């Protein structure tokens, strides 16, 4: 068992299957020592997590949805690399929050994913980040997050 797989087990985390692309794109691209993972939408055990922050979802619900995006990012990285120990660093996350125009807590919502990366990868999980609002997201989901990883 790899070090990161052991850490996931210790945290009680089971990764979902890596989601298949829903359109004309690939789920990840490796270029040199970087792995670019396409945007992962909020999808939990009960299915798609839909809603708008500031309307029918609060920050804690949004952060949980962002955490599910993070699990999907890690699952895609595992599908790409085979072994999560090949991740040297989480370089950057870009988070999109489906929200009302007056919603201002995008960073608190995307922390659900950022916190997961640090829980799983430790200091190597600390990353650069953007957290922005969107008027809508695919399929009405609440969150979409893409990631860039430094890999061996």
- Please indicate, yes or no, if residue 48 is contained in any of the structural domains: yes
86: in domain: yes
- Inside any domain, residue 104: yes
- The total number of residues written for the chain in this structure: 152
Number of domains in the chain: 1
70-97 pLDDT tens trace:
999 999 999 999 999 999 999 999 999 9
pLDDT of residue 15: 97
- DSSP of 29-88, one letter per residue? EEETTEEEEEEEE-EETTEE-B--BTTTB-HHHHHHHHHHHHHHHHHHHHHHHS-GGGEE
Measured distance CA(143)–CA(51) in Å, rounded: 9
Q: Give the range of the structural domain holding residue 99, as residue numbers without chain letter.
A: 28-127+141-151
**Assigned domain for 39 exists:** yes
Q: What is the pLDDT of residues 113-147, one digit of tens each?
A: 999 999 999 999 999 999 999 999 999 999 999 99
Q: Which CATH number belongs to the domain containing residue 116 in this structure?
A: 3.30.1330.40
């Amino acid at each position: 068992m790899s070090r990161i797989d052991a850490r996931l087990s210790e945290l009680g985390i089971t990764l979902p299957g890596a989601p298949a692309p829903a359109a004309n794109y690939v789920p990840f691209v490796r270029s040199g020592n970087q792995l670019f993972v396409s945007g992962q939408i909020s999808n939990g055990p009960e299915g798609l997590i839909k809603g708008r922050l500031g309307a029918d979802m609060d920050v804690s619900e949004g952060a949980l949805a962002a955490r599910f995006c993070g699990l999907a990012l890690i699952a895609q990285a595992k599908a790409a690399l085979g072994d999560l120990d090949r991740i040297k660093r989480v370089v950057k996350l870009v988070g999109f929050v489906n929200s009302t125009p007056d919603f201002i807590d995008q960073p608190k919502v995307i922390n659900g994913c950022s916190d997961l990366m640090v829980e799983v990868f430790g200091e190597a999980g600390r990353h650069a980040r953007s957290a922005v609002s969107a008027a809508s997201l695919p399929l009405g989901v609440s969150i979409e997050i893409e990631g860039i990883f430094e890999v061996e």
